[in-house]
Amino acid sequence: MARKGEMFAGLTVALVTPFREGNVDEAALRKLVDLHVDAGTECVSPCGTTGESPTLTHQENERVIAIVCEQAAGRLKVMAGTGSNSTAEAIRLTTRAQKDGADGALLVAPYYNKPMQQGFYEHYRAIAEAVGLPLVVYNIPGRTAMNIEPETICRLGEIPNIVAVKESTGSMDQASQILGGSDLTVLSGDDSLTLPLLALGGSGVVSVVGNIIPQDVRSLISAWNEGQVAEAQRWHHKLFPLCRDMLGLATNPIPVKSAMQLLGRDSGDVRLPLTRLAPAQEQSLANTLEAYGLRSG
């Protein structure tokens, strides 16, 4: 089956937001985009969970997306994080991202409000009708308190410019229902589930660990796409301990920012209410990085 959002197949990196002295470090952000261009990353997604969007002001959110689009300059795609629990605000942010040159928008399920399934449908339909960008539904009930049920997601897939879903429920059953009941592109929202989701018919991942080792995540996806199952499994098992630490040691993006600091790619601290890893956690992460073959410095 041809899927609607294959433009976002492969590796999308859920980009961290660099901070310096409490402000967005614009120079560091531009360097991150260039790094991913050089690494062959197909797409970056600024201002998502990993980008600490809940602590960005609306002005910062707009500025980060604008910088990433400008620096990308067509060399890779930009899936801008423009979600909100206010439908009107999500429309405003998505409209602005389209003007700034984003290739698509990643829209997290409305959080805190706990809408009914019809509310989810009307929320995304309103955004799709207001903005012409390809839209990616971001379903992460562990953070939003409500699951967008697969029936609702399949129904949303009937809207022309809703093209994909970032599947962060951890449920292969839910992913199977979406893949079997729609022509939406399904992207893994969990690095450790990338290979299982590809095996079901998924098309890629919106990756946290890709901030550190984008080439290796691409190698896993490429191996699978080329029918090299054993090679894809090898990459999965190599990546797994690092993927586990990115979500298991502490709340994302605390571990990935700590890893970047340990590897000499400092992107600044996380913003409150997130805090740094405890010394024992940081040592555990350093051990994982070294076991992987990455050296701190």
Point out the residues that are catalytic.
138, 166
Q: Specify which residues 205 forms β-bridges with.
A: 11, 188
What three-state secondary structure class fits 185? strand
Angle at Cα 166 formed by Cα 293 and Cα 258, nearest 5°?
A: 35
**CA-CA distance, 130 to 123, in Å (whole number)?**
11
- Asked if 282 and 262 count as a contact pair (C-beta separation under 8 A), the reply is yes
Element (H, E) at 108: strand 104-108
Residue 228: other Cβ atoms inside 10 A:
14
User: Which amino acid, residue 156?
Assistant: L
**CA-CA distance, 277 to 179, in Å (whole number)?**
37
Q: In the numeric block, which tokens belong to residue 147?
A: 């699951």
- Asked if 43 and 9 count as a contact pair (C-beta separation under 8 A), the reply is no
Q: In the numeric block, which tokens belong to residue 172?
A: 């292969």
Q: In the numeric block, which tokens belong to residue 168?
A: 């962060």
